[in-house]
A and B are shown apart, each in its own frame.
Chain A
């Protein structure tokens, strides 16, 4: 069974229909790169999965539980439980500026109270080591570079052991020379078979790391294929036009 199952998802902002009956599914361990021109609805789609946007109609099923079924949302407690299976990394990091790196990581698991402080702190330091920032545990976000901030944000989202990680343009706010360190961490996660959906403009990442590329335009999924096929033999005219403009 698919880990994420989206059917006939519809969403409008006012009169503007931003998602026009989207259906797709994601299997466990898949890494999906979602690409497309700005305004194509890919970020809105990603945000809908974790309930940062409310959809107007359709269904979203996560790991067998319906977040929303035919436009009817689950109750508050179930929504929390279901969205808790996912972590999210934002374009602008959204670290908490008044907390140190370590405090950013341990806040959510500490408030959840389901494990001991020792376990939480150990995982915190393990994750910081994994993203190469154990020496920054006591630094405040304002003293980090953009790439470091995003790596902290990824570590923070991993603290709750999510089954799925959503990335909303994780490298778009970074200087070009800093994108590499973030992409490296994401690549490591992919190799550990974390299920990931990555909205990105990084064609290199989409091609090398993703198992599947989904191309969106005008609120629709135009094409969905394996990277090799997608980049070498795009089927749709709009895909060809987009690739021609953005990747060579």
Chain B
């Protein structure tokens, strides 16, 4: 039993650490970046708005796996600059996830932003709030509240998408599960992996449910 634990479960938990690390890096960087993209799309400076919109369209319109392969294996093959674009696999994966998820979060926040009634801006204006005060005190708190369920959904998807790292040979949870399956000739590690993913998504679900209740404003 101890042997089984040491040979199979322990490496998988170590792999899960990689999954969790990637999750936190991706979420902590892509949410602010997505928010900046939301603002960029709304920008009055049209070239910036167009570029941001094109970026979002491309990132959402192509598979994450394709983007990961491109960053890990494609960039280094570019002439001249290629040799400077060889990243550590994990770093490359982080870049891929951040760039991809920022586009999704940008769309989620944009949805939150357009859901806010123009009466909120008008009330803030007649109360003498500056544009900055209106944005930070009135608009953003409401935008994040509206976006919360969609952010929760996206975060759960992100946990599961980390399994794509398998394709670019970063040793994460699924990688160790597959190794164990091959070595031990048993499918049990698949189920263990499933349970670990499920545990992670359950924790996230509970966390976001708590956040939603906390900011219910009732």
Residues in A lying within 8 Å of B, measured CB to CB: 50-52, 80, 83-84, 86-88, 90, 92, 94-98, 107-108, 111-112, 140-143, 156-157, 160
| Secondary structure of the B contact surface, majority rule | helix
Nearest-neighbour CB distance to chain B for A52, whole angstroms, equals: 6
Closest to B140 in A: A98
Question: Do A111 and B129 form a contact, CB below 8 Å, given A94-B117, A142-B217, A142-B218?
Answer: yes
Decide if B80 is an interface residue (CB 8 Å cutoff): no
Query: Smallest Cβ distance from B218 to chain A, in angstroms?
Result: 5
* Inter-chain contact A86/B126, CB cutoff 8 Å: yes
A112 to B124, CA, bound (A): 13
A160 near B128 with CB under 8 A, answer yes
Give CA–CA (A157, B126) in the complex, Å: 9
* Residues of chain A lying within 8 A (CB to CB) of residue B128: 80, 83-84, 108, 112, 160
Contacts of B137 in A (CB 8 A): 107, 111
Q: A156 to chain B: which residues have CB within 8 Å?
A: 127
Question: CB of B89 within 8 A of chain A?
Answer: no
| A86-B126, A98-B142, A108-B127 known; A140-B119 Cβ under 8 A | no
- In Å, the complex CA distance between A42 and B17 comes to 64
Contact of A96 among B125, B138, B215 (CB under 8 A): B138
| Interfacial residues of chain B within 197-218, with CB under 8 A of chain A in the complex | 215, 217-218
Whether B217 and A140, one on each chain, are in contact in the complex, defined by CB atoms closer than 8 angstroms, is yes
Closest to B142 in A: A98
Distance, CA A96 to CA B122, complexed state (A): 11
Q: Determine the distance from Cα of A32 to Cα of B12 in the docked complex, in whole angstroms.
A: 75
In this assembly, does B120 line the interface, its C-beta being within 8 Å of a C-beta of chain A? yes
Query: If the complex has contacts A96-B138, A111-B137, are A140 and B218 also in contact, measured as CB distance less than 8 A?
Result: yes
- CB within 8 Å for A108 and B129 given contacts A98-B142, A98-B145, A140-B217: yes
Cβ A96 vs Cβ B123 within 8 A? yes
Q: Which residues of A contact B215 (CB under 8 A)?
A: 98
Residue contacts A-B, CB under 8 angstroms, 8 given: A84-B128, A94-B122, A96-B142, A97-B142, A98-B141, A98-B145, A111-B133, A157-B126
A140 partner residues in chain B, CB cutoff 8 A: 217-218
| Pair B142/A87 contact, Cβ less than 8 Å | no
Give, as a whole number of angstroms, the nearest-CB distance from A227 to chain B. 27
Closest approach, in angstroms, between the C-beta of A106 and any C-beta of chain B? 11
Complex Cα–Cα for A156 and B127 (A): 9
Rounded to whole angstroms, the CA-CA distance of A208 and B5 in the bound complex is: 85
Interface centre among B125, B126, B128, B141 (most CB of A within 10 A): B126
Q: A94-B119, A142-B217 are in contact. Are A52 and B126 (CB under 8 A)?
A: yes
